[in-house]
Structures are given as C-alpha cells and as structure tokens.
Amino acid sequence: MPDELITRVVAWYDTNARDLPWRRPGTSAWAVMVSEFMLQQTPVERVREPWARWLERWPTPADLAASPSGEAVRAWGRLGYPRRALRLHGAAVAITERFGGEVPETSADLLSLPGVGSYTAAAIASFAFGQRAVVLDTNVRRVLGRVTVGQAHPGTAVTRAETEAADAYAPVEPARAAKWAVASMELGALVCTARAPHCDVCPVSDLCAWRTAGYPAHVGPPRRGQSYEGTDRQCRGALLAVLRGSVEPVGADELAAAWPEAVQRERALASLVDDGLVVRVEPVDGSEPRWSLPG
C-alpha cells in the first residue's frame, strides 16, 4: 500500500508540479536554503520576487556574511517574521566561518545553523543534495494524517509517531525519497489543502482513510491563533517598517507617530533591541537617542 501511494503521488507530481524557480536544475544549495527560510510560514507567491532579488544581491553565503545584518533585515521587506532574516544572516556567517563558505550537507551540520530546524535541515538535504531525509512540513503532515489515519488536521506539535510513520514511508533509494518528499508537499499545497480539499482530482483519493470515513471533523480543541490587531507583534511590525524605510537613525517622535500607545511601544522596541533587530544609537553631542537597523 505505501508503495502504491508513493508511486501515484510521484506520478501526479510529474505532470502537476508548479514551476518554482528554486526547483529548477542548477539552483545552488544556498539558493535552496534561502527559499526555505523565506517559505517558513509564508505563501509561495509572496516569496518569488524577494528570493530573486536576494540572490541577485547575495549570490553566496559569503556575500551575505560580508553585509551588515541590518541590510538583511531591510531586504527582507514585508515577508514577515523578520527574525528569519537575522537568522539567515547568522547562518551565512556560520557557513563562511565554519564550513568554508559551502552549505553543509549533513543533518548535524545543518541543524547547527541558526534558523535551521528539523524541517529545514531535511528540506535542504533532500532538495539541494538529493539525500533521503524525512521532510515533514505541515503539508506532508496533513496528507499523511488524512490518507493513513483519517485525521482532518495535524496536531500542534509533531509527534514521535508521526515522525516514525513518515520515516517508514520515505523510500530507501535517495533520489526516489527526494522525489516523494517534494511530491507529497506539493500534493498538500495544491490538492490536499487545509480547507476545501480537491479530492476529485486527488491521485490517492481511493486510498484515503479520511475520505473513506466520510471526512470526520477535526477532533480536539480548535487551535486558534493569536488575534493580531493591537498585539505586540503588530506594534513591532509597525516600528520595524519605519526603520526599514529610513537609512538614517530614527528619533522617538517618528516611532511614536507609527504607534501612539507609549507603554506598548516601549515594550516592543525593547524586545526588538533584545532580539538584535534594532540598535539604539547614542548621539555624541548629548541629544536625544535614535534607533536604526543593526549596522
């Protein structure tokens, strides 16, 4: 049964895969790595352009490492979760200093890089280096959960059972494992979607436990994300947008204009400084302090 599932999903991928630039032959491991950072919690369509511009400017890890981290944060633009930009810069520095400027290939080395967790390490190993890796993202979790267990949505955390099951599904042969990884992700992204899945065009609908069971609803507490309006996250985003837009350090008045509520603004600014996304610039002439992206 697993064999049939894999064969069909891979065949489906061969004729239905999107033409994504980071999948094209000749894409460097660094370019794949950049795409994986940008794609963390961010839709594909929003990544295409920033990814191309990023690699035009920083074609290698050493190029990015030679730039200030603040420039990475600025170039990140409105992709969201700007700490990813900082971590990508940190990873570029680590690659340059510890790995001779080449993206490492082993799982342990990849996991040693800032911003690289279990998913991203597996994705780089698989997509960039053609290795057999357990690539378990939200798409694969949903596909396997539905097809094999009949579960509508994956839980909040990746369980050990999930990882072991995914490992058992991954083909032994590296090239085929890599193909299965990208194909199962693509099926989750295009067909086996979170809402309104397209079971009518799914290549494995007749094998799907969730479908056979009559699409039972999600069991357990509804996993509700934090509302955004008025949160510290929104405040941080507003402040950082001001700093991204200014080459010169910014004064307190400009930040206050972006977020009038003082207590929350100060808390958010402190957290941005704490994260290393913002630095406080002390003037030499005793005037008011200013803030900027890290030089």
Partner DNA sequence: CAGTCGTGGGC
Partner DNA sequence: TGCCCAAGACT
- Which residues in this chain contact DNA in the complex, by CB under 7 A? 20, 22-23, 35-36, 39-44, 46, 78-83, 87, 114-121, 123, 137-139, 142, 153, 156-157, 185-186, 188-189, 193-196, 222-228, 231-234, 236-238, 240-241, 271
C-beta of 82 vs 203, nearer to DNA: 82
Per the CB < 8 A criterion, the answer to whether 22 and 28 are in contact is no
Catalytic position from the list 36, 71, 162, 186: 36
Give the residue among 110, 71, 112 at the shortest CA–CA distance from 89.
71
C-beta of 39 vs 166, nearer to DNA: 39
What is the C-alpha separation between 236 and 82, in angstroms, rounded?
Answer: 10
C-beta of 225 vs 286, nearer to DNA: 225
Rounded least distance, CB 59 to DNA, Å: 20
CA distances from 191 to 44, 119, 194, 202 (A): 15, 21, 9, 6
C-beta of 227 vs 287, nearer to DNA: 227
Rounded least distance, CB 144 to DNA, Å: 14
173 noted as active-site residue: no
Rounded least distance, CB 50 to DNA, Å: 11
Rounded least distance, CB 66 to DNA, Å: 22
Q: What is the set of active-site residues? A: 36
